[in-house]
Structure 1
Amino acid sequence: MVKRTLLSCLCMLLAFAGMSQNVHLFAYFKGNGEDGLHLAYSKDGYKWSALKGDSSFLTPTVSKDKLMRDPCIIRGGDGLFHMVWTVSWNDKGIGYASSKDLIHWSAQQFIPVMAKEDSARNCWAPEITYDAVSKTYMIYWSTTISGKFTETAATKESGYNHRLYYVTTKDFKTWSATRLLYEPGFNVIDATIVKEGKRYMMVMKDETIEPAAKNLRLAFSNKLTGPYTKAGPSITGKYWAEGPTTLKLGNTWLIYFDKYTEHKYGAISSTDLKEWKDISAEVSLPKGLRHGTIFQVTAAEFKLLQQ
């Protein structure tokens, strides 16, 4: 009788642990981003499966092109999920929406973050990071402004020559002025910033085309808005990589990225942020998954998504 009672209690504890365990979600787009937001899930951070039959959770409605590329979702200090995304290949703003459950979304907004720059050509791959101390959100992206940073200008790839810019907000209603976030001395895109101990870590893509770099590098700062250190050496291989997103499992950092010329995803891992191991063969993701971000939901939130 005692053994049965103990066994019953153990089963209940295991069931409770399973119910309370967080689930990793991967927000991504497919194709050109015309059908909107896709979500995949993982229990271990390595094997990912698409939700909702890999159909869209949210259809894009803003900007003339109505795209939803490079979705970035975080959970804010208010408990809501906040998302930003690329709305167009050549618009001067980004998209924003919020949700309490990833199913029902607020009205989509177009935020004209580069409207005051007459020579701005684009706003690509916006991301959002929350500073819990100041209760401030920073949204950042890459833009080419014609005639600026000519020392790194190239003729290939339509002459794009990006730098990173940002705005801040506390309520997604009032916004700071747009400012330069990072000028590393090279064409830079696809930044993602996460808290790493007491400092912030930026993973970015060196977009240099002449001679081709197309790799991922790291920079650090004690403050979310910078200044950030000089970019470190490449942490990826000889392949071309873009669209990084991070996940920390215990003491191990994982960085997922798009091996876009090979039409597949890759991943690297590290315990010290210096030595990196290619673990691409150990991960699997839905076919056609493109540039996105990883975040977490509770078991209860995940259950609603499954339904």
Structure 2
Amino acid sequence: MVDDQSAYPRELREKYIMSKTLGSGACGEVKLAFERTTCNKVAVKIINKRRFITSAVRDTDPAFNVNTEIEILKKINHPCLIKIKNFFDAEDYYIVLELMEGGELYDRVSRSTRMKEATCKLYFYQMLLAVKYLHENGIIHRDLKPENVLLSSSEETCLIKITDFGQSKILGESSLMKTLCGTPTYLAPEVLSSLGTAGYSRAVDCWSLGVILFVCLCGYPPFNEQNTQLSLKDQITRGEYTFIPREWKHVSDMALDLVKKLLVVDPNKRLTTEKALEHPWLQDESMKSTFQELLSQTRVSMHPPQTSRLVCRSDVLDRGGQIH
């Protein structure tokens, strides 16, 4: 059941058989594909150039070159970051990525059953390792949210991978502007107060990680429209999150302490990824050995067993989503 292959550029067709659509968004869609040489599944993100490369991007960055950025991203290699496998610059952009069969963290936290604290810890530890690696390589993600954290399987104990990293870097400022126009639930206060004009730092990612951890632990977002006293922007710029004690009674004090140290309005006083990894909550040898075990399993079986149902809906397209 494959589409007519002739719609795709020849160099892409030579390497991949294109299959069904997994998800779509404002600038294009993500399709399932099969690598011809191995029959492995991959996700192909197709970005519609006409819709994406606006004159605004050209004006702000005349030296804009997607190929260069993709080359940088191809060199990035971390088990908790989605790997870009290939890139084709034709009538549209085609970005080939590894496929994650467990779907988005967004769907896991949106379920009615709360995530266990131990699971939150395993996922968050991996997120910190991934973002620390990006920061060490001079990349700020700028759009961390549960939609951009993907799970390797539908099992609760699994590897996670961050996707869309450098998306705003690869494709100019438009994805940041999209975030600003959408729901700023995960945006740091300094981004909102400068509206994307200031040269803000890697600390913006640490704020977003704090928001993600908050949501994972208690099931609702810290800053939301339901809080009628303050606008969303005021809640964030003042760092005033909605604390509902009954939703936190099953969460340890140490976990809450880490959240508080990440959701600090002053970026200079906010925990860095290094400092967060040293936090007492993450000094958990059994969690770290679980992570190492998961890593060694993926190295042994580079061809995971076929799952009966493909859960992954969208590898990389963002859904400006608020958790209800």
- Normalising by structure 1, we get a TM-score of 0.26
Larger strand share, 1 or 2: 1
- Normalising by structure 2, we get a TM-score of 0.25
Q: Which has the higher contact order (CA 8 A, sep 6+)?
A: 2
Larger helix share, 1 or 2: 2
